[in-house]
Amino acid sequence: MSNLDITFLGTSAAMPSENRFLSSIVINRNGTLFIFDAGEGMQYNFIRARFSFNKKTLIFITHMHSDHILGLVGFFQTLSLQGRNKPIDIFGPKLLYDYLTENIRILNIKLSFPLYIHVIEDKEGNIIIDKEYKITFCRSNHGYGIISFAYCLVENNRPGKFNIKKAKELGVPEGILYQKLQKGEDIEYNNKIIYSSTILGPLRSGRKIGISGDTRPTNELCNFFRNCDLLIFESTFKSTEIDKAKESFHSTAFEAAVLAKLSNTFRLCLTHFSTRYKDLSILLDEAKSIFYSVDIAYDMKSISIPYRD
């Protein structure tokens, strides 16, 4: 069983507010850190959250707007000052390579760790395939000429529930053989092959976390986020300002809720709020008028994602 926790390091749109830094989200899966965007101020909350400076870390950039990337170089410098030696892989649009290499060169930052920059050029697909999960991406719609991506962390299916009564009927001794069967491995015992499928129930789904980045809602994203356990979707505006949302290629809280409902999302969390809104309950209320399970993100908010079964 793997722990899966989400921490918001920044939840404001375009500019920071008194209590919100710019966009950044961390998924902590059993100690591996997946960071999505790195807006200004994110490293302060990274330190406050007591994340390790030397854990396995992967970074995913949704698009090359300043409120989503300006925290990167300072974050890398802090990691170097802390003596990090494990490599970091970072993924994003083509301009990410130029941005990082030029800023690191101009500022003469001496990285203490290998930095591998991966350019995403396709419209959708997988960028990481692990034995336990994969990271997928899909092109989003944040304006003409703006290359932007949404991401999902998708866990692989888990073996079915272990039928201990059946195992005992077959005479399998507890211990290592139980553990192998629980992992879905077939075993040999008393010169017989015991298939895990006779001990285990149907496969159980892993968890799926979706992160929208900045975007208008689209049919492609609706399909991409289908069956998310948690969907984190930008909600820059309330529905009465739909014209501003369309003009700037952002979404309203109402639209985020509609997409969550259509995609059969289990739980929705709104983020990326315009500083014009001092009271975010208006965004929460309009989302809840459409979708039953909605929450509002704030800096340092942490959400644990259990398995649904």
pLDDT tens digits, 61-75: 999 999 999 999 999
Spatial separation of the C-alpha atoms in residues 161 and 159, rounded to whole Å:
7
Domains of the chain with CATH codes: 4-158+204-304 (3.60.15.10), 164-198 (no CATH)
| Sign of the four-CA dihedral 219, 223, 224, 225 | positive
Q: Which residues are catalytic?
A: 67
Average pLDDT of span 49-55: 97
Identify the pLDDT of residue 127.
96
By the 8 A CB rule, do 295 and 270 touch?
yes
Place 163 in a pLDDT band, splitting at 50, 70 and 90.
confident
Distance of alpha carbon 186 from alpha carbon 194, whole angstroms = 6
Helices 281-288 and 253-262 pack at an angle, to 10 degrees, of 30
Q: Examine the pLDDT at 116 and tell me if it is beyond 90.
A: yes
Going by pLDDT thresholds of 50, 70 and 90, the confidence category of residue 184 is confident
What is the structure's pLDDT at 80? 98
Question: Which residues are registered as beta bridge partners of 187?
Answer: 194
Number of C-alpha atoms within 13 angstroms, CB side, residue 95? Answer: 10
d(CA 126, CA 119): 13
Residue 1: pLDDT band by 50, 70, 90 thresholds? low
- Please say whether the dihedral angle defined by the alpha carbons of residues 74, 80, 84 and 90, taken in this order, is positive or negative: positive
**pLDDT score of 300 more than 70:** yes
Whether 120 has a pLDDT exceeding 70, the answer reads yes
pLDDT digits (tens, 9 = 90+) for 31-48: 999 999 999 999 999 999
Work out the average pLDDT over 231-239.
Answer: 98
In this predicted structure, the answer to whether residue 194 has a pLDDT above a threshold of 90 is: no
Q: What is the pLDDT of residue 181?
A: 84
Q: Helices in the chain by DSSP H: which ranges? A: 42-48, 66-69, 72-81, 95-106, 164-169, 176-182, 219-224, 242-248, 253-262, 281-288
The yes-or-no verdict on residue 292 having pLDDT over 80 is yes
- Check residue 150 and give its pLDDT: 98
For the chain, the average pLDDT equals 95
Q: What is the pLDDT of residues 6-19, one digit of tens each?
A: 999 999 999 999 99
> What is the pLDDT averaged over residues 103-118?
97
Distance (Å, whole) CA 34 – CA 51: 12
**CA gap 53, 70 in Å, rounded:** 19
Helix axes 95-106, 72-81, angle to 10 degrees: 50
